[in-house]
Amino acid sequence: MSTDTPIVLHVGGPKTGSSALQYDFTWNPVRPALDRPGVAYEYVALNARGQLRRGRGLAEMASRFAAHYANSAAIESLFRLPQRRLAACIGELQAMRRDGIVPVLSYELWLHSERSLVERFAALFDAPLEVVAYVRDPVSWLTSAYWQRHQVEGASLNQWIEAYLPLTYWADHLDGWVALPNTRVAVRVMEGSVPADFCRLLGCAASPGDVRHNTSLPGPFARFLTRHHLPATVSVSEMKFAWWRWVGSLDRGAERARALGGLPRVIEQPQLETIIAATRAANERLLAQCDAETAARIRADPRWWSADAADHDVDHHLGEQAPGVEREPPHAPATDGLLELSLEATMAADTAWRKASYELEELRAADTERTLRCHELQRQASLAEHGRQEAEHRCREVEHTCEHLQWELRLARQRIEKLERRGCLPHPWRKAA
């Protein structure tokens, strides 16, 4: 094992393309390095049960969740494991490094872990670390996060912003990671395809196409969620994954869903100014934690620094409505009830589909294994038959040799008898009188 073989940790943050990255790497976990022959990157998941899942183990994890990908567990969960179990996982990671494999692990909330936990976590690996974090301008992050969380928390928008605004102080959350010894931290801005950017950063092969896996909900869907209280057991995130998986699979389904309109605007000008003012100091410190190129991109992007720029950014503003248009169009309770039943049925169908898909893959893998085993048994039977034929041939040769020796023995005995009759044999060959 080369002592400089690193372990790659994608630490988040949330709402910055983590789902797409984890989905892409779950189903394509091994990526050869482009400029280092014999070196490969492999995505693995360190789960809360103390298992390091690789290959088909990732698929088994993914089959349990509507998001349909696998990721590692929170640091707090990992430290609740028995020490021997966690040590075994670290041993597996070290074995991968000895084989020339660079392990890649991901969990989007590692970025927000307490500094003391980050230090303990990094010390576990006993290896150089390459830490990758993605950031996003605060207004777009809060707008995106709002539609996934607000409707199940019962807080006013101002209360919600006050509670979640500290999560956008990226520099504060990066401090603990930047301070780690033997660690290189790369800060990236969420823009375009995060999986492709991640692969470029590592220097490994990227998947073809633009992988996206956590698309925003259409406006009517979002409005339904804001006025309808779902059961506590229903995950809005899982509902979104399931809904898009089936709508997107329909003919022109994704296109028709986008035509319904984007998410309605929720953050108004006074709130935008509050957000920009509150995050400015952290954003300034963030520039010092980035490389020169990333810092320049953040500095040049007015959405980080100007409430007016954020207000006019259509993508991050998520569907500003034209003047005079009702913000909350009329709706019928019966329609909402029907939509709720449809969503519940979609989630149930999605769960059954994922379970059946995994079981089918397991059956295919078992069938392949049985086929290989059958071929191996046939090969062994062929070798055994060849050995039997060789043994029979050898047995016949031995029998022939025995017959020849017996023939020579009879001749020798006949000669001895002749010599005895002539009295030519000296003592002790001569028979007694």
Mean pLDDT of 377-405: 88
Supply the pLDDT for residue 183: 96
Which H helix or E strand runs over 372?
A: helix 333-422
Query: What's domain 7-331's architecture?
Result: 3-Layer(aba) Sandwich (3.40)
Supply the pLDDT for residue 412: 87
In the predicted structure, residue 387 carries a pLDDT above the cut 80: yes
In the predicted structure, residue 231 carries a pLDDT above the cut 90: no
In the predicted structure, residue 433 carries a pLDDT above the cut 80: no
Weakest-pLDDT range from 72-76, 205-209, 429-433: 429-433
| pLDDT over 70, % of the chain | 79
Mean pLDDT of 135-154: 76
Model confidence at 112, pLDDT cuts 50, 70, 90, reads very high
Residue 381 vs residue 248, higher pLDDT: 381
In the predicted structure, residue 209 carries a pLDDT above the cut 80: no
Domain boundaries, the chain: 7-331, 339-433
Task: Collect contacts of 49-54 with beta carbons under 8 A, ≥24 apart.
Answer: 49/81, 50/81, 50/82, 50/85, 50/86, 50/88, 50/89, 51/89, 52/89, 52/92, 52/93, 54/29
- The per-residue pLDDT for range 268-289, each reduced to its tens digit, is 888 999 999 999 999 999 999 9
Residue 345 vs residue 89, higher pLDDT: 89
| pLDDT over 90, % of the chain | 43
Weakest-pLDDT range from 4-18, 283-297, 337-351: 337-351
Mean pLDDT of 149-173: 80
Q: Does pTM top 0.85 for this prediction?
A: no
Supply the pLDDT for residue 325: 35
Weakest-pLDDT range from 7-21, 234-248, 277-291: 234-248
Weakest-pLDDT range from 67-71, 175-179, 185-189, 363-367: 363-367
- Mean pLDDT, all residues of the chain: 83
Supply the pLDDT for residue 312: 63
Kindly list the strands in the beta sheet with 7-12, ordered across the sheet, starting from the edge strand earlier in the chain: 30-32, 40-43, 101-106, 7-12, 129-135, 183-189
Supply the pLDDT for residue 322: 33
Mean pLDDT of 324-338: 55
Model confidence at 152, pLDDT cuts 50, 70, 90, reads very low
On whether the CB atoms of residues 85 and 52 are closer than 8 A, the answer is no
Round to whole Å and give the CA distance between 433 and 416: 17
Which residues touch 371 (CB under 8 Å, ≥6 apart)? none
Question: What are the DSSP E strand ranges found in 21-137?
Answer: 30-32, 40-43, 45-46, 52-53, 101-106, 129-135
Mean pLDDT of 234-259: 68
Mean pLDDT of 423-430: 64
In the predicted structure, residue 362 carries a pLDDT above the cut 50: yes
In the predicted structure, residue 155 carries a pLDDT above the cut 70: no
Mean pLDDT of 211-230: 67
Supply the pLDDT for residue 314: 44
DSSP structure class, residue 207: P
In the predicted structure, residue 49 carries a pLDDT above the cut 50: yes
Mean pLDDT of 99-126: 96
In the predicted structure, residue 212 carries a pLDDT above the cut 70: no
Closest CA to 117 of 15, 7, 11: 11
Weakest-pLDDT range from 23-27, 53-57, 121-125, 209-213: 209-213
Supply the pLDDT for residue 64: 78
- The per-residue pLDDT for range 82-107, each reduced to its tens digit, is 999 999 999 999 999 999 999 999 99
Cα dihedral sign, 387-393-396-397: negative
